[in-house]
Copies of this chain bind each other. A is one copy, B any other.
Amino acid sequence: MFPYSSGKYQIPNPNYRFIPQGQYYNPYSEPSWAWWHYPQDFGGSYRLPAPQRLTFVLVHGAWADSHFWDDVAEVLRSHGNTVHAPEYAGHGSDPNKNVTHAMISKSVVDYIKHLNLHDFILVGHSFGGTVIQKVAEQVPDRIKRLVFWDAFVLKDGESLVDQLPPPTRQGFEALRKMSNDDTIMLPFETFRAMFVNTASTEDAKHFYTSVAPEPAKPLFEKLDLKAFYALPTPKSYVYFYQDNVLPQGEGYGWHPHMSTRLGLFRLIVGDGDHFTDTRTRPAYLAQKIYDASRD
């Protein structure tokens, strides 16, 4: 309704909308001005509202495949939601690691169109944030809400590695050079410290057996995201505060550094790390994603 520029302030995107489109209410038309009391606090029986049943499309990140979501999807389905977890190019059983970012987002767009999905919550984790940014540009009218969980939100013209502190970026570059198929494989101790820091020793080792070399190119590609920043789609950010993939603060990190780029967004915070809760607390993670997704 009233898009405006952000001036010199660098955090939110220039297309930030404080006032959602079509959401202005006549202030004097309806409100009763009566503060509402939560029934639970006053004893008696309280009829919980029926939870909303949603459709989710879950997009995994790097060093993962679509089975990343298996346990979370099971929890969400058990509560009556519909869940899709598409695989994308260069991942899962795809033997071709020579992929581009456009091929990856096309995988997800094709999946959505093939199943003719509409009115769904599009969730991205980690690198998957960049994927849902590009997918949202291509099928905006099908998406009910975008949910980023410890996910990259790139500015127009940035690559994922632009958001890494220089030592991490240099580590990625060194690992890339060590491969013979332009992939990056995380050493165990790096993965253990940054991705599954809260896991038990045994769980960390289990997780690592699922980690495959990641195609390097899409992490280094600069993305055109002008269309993304013009989208009025509602957005949420789920931040887990033990996540150790990025330093939090001093110019880096998930929240608020990347979350605020979304403009108006709903914040949900949890206490997990980058990967562990998908296996050890899928119900907890599913609840956080649901809290970020409901109307």
Q: Give residues in A with beta carbon < 8 Å to B.
A: 2, 4, 6-9, 11-12, 16, 18-20, 23-25, 27-28, 30-38, 40-41, 49, 52, 65, 67-68, 70-71, 74, 165-168, 170-172, 174-175, 178-179, 183, 185, 187-190, 192-194, 197-198, 200-203, 206-213, 234, 241-242, 244, 247-253, 255-257, 259-260, 263-269, 271, 273, 279-280, 282-283, 291, 294-295
Q: Could you say which of A28, A165, A179, A295 has the most chain B C-beta atoms within 10 Å of its C-beta?
A: A165
Contact flag A294-B200 (CB < 8 Å), given A166-B9, A190-B23, A248-B256: yes
A-B contacts, 16 of them at CB < 8 A, read: A2-B174, A8-B166, A16-B167, A18-B171, A25-B185, A27-B179, A27-B185, A31-B208, A33-B65, A34-B67, A35-B70, A189-B264, A193-B266, A201-B294, A248-B256, A250-B260
Q: How far is the CB of A162 from chain B (nearest CB, A)?
A: 12
Return chain B residues, CB-CB under 8 Å to A273.
267
Contact flag A198-B11 (CB < 8 Å), given A25-B188, A209-B30: no
Decide if B188 touches A35 in the complex (CB within 8 Å).
no
Decide if A27 touches B174 in the complex (CB within 8 Å).
no
Return chain B residues, CB-CB under 8 Å to A25.
185, 187-188
Q: How far is the CB of A58 from chain B (nearest CB, A)?
A: 14
Return chain B residues, CB-CB under 8 Å to A259.
247
Decide if A35 touches B65 in the complex (CB within 8 Å).
yes
Q: Could you say which of A20, A27, A41 has the most chain B C-beta atoms within 10 Å of its C-beta?
A: A27
Q: How far is the CB of A36 from chain B (nearest CB, A)?
A: 4
Q: Which of B209, B247, B279 contacts A34 (CB 8 A)?
A: B209
Return chain B residues, CB-CB under 8 Å to A185.
25, 27
Q: How far is the CB of A98 from chain B (nearest CB, A)?
A: 16
Q: How far is the CB of A160 from chain B (nearest CB, A)?
A: 15
Decide if A241 touches B269 in the complex (CB within 8 Å).
yes
A contacts with B: majority SS = loop
Return chain B residues, CB-CB under 8 Å to A11.
165, 247, 250, 252
Decide if A213 touches B4 in the complex (CB within 8 Å).
no
Contact flag A193-B41 (CB < 8 Å), given A35-B68, A249-B256: no
Contact flag A49-B202 (CB < 8 Å), given A249-B256, A250-B11, A266-B193: yes
Return chain B residues, CB-CB under 8 Å to A74.
41
Return chain B residues, CB-CB under 8 Å to A283.
41
In the A-B complex, the 4 residue pairs with the smallest Cβ-Cβ separation, listed nearest first, are A18-B171, A27-B185, A35-B67, A9-B166
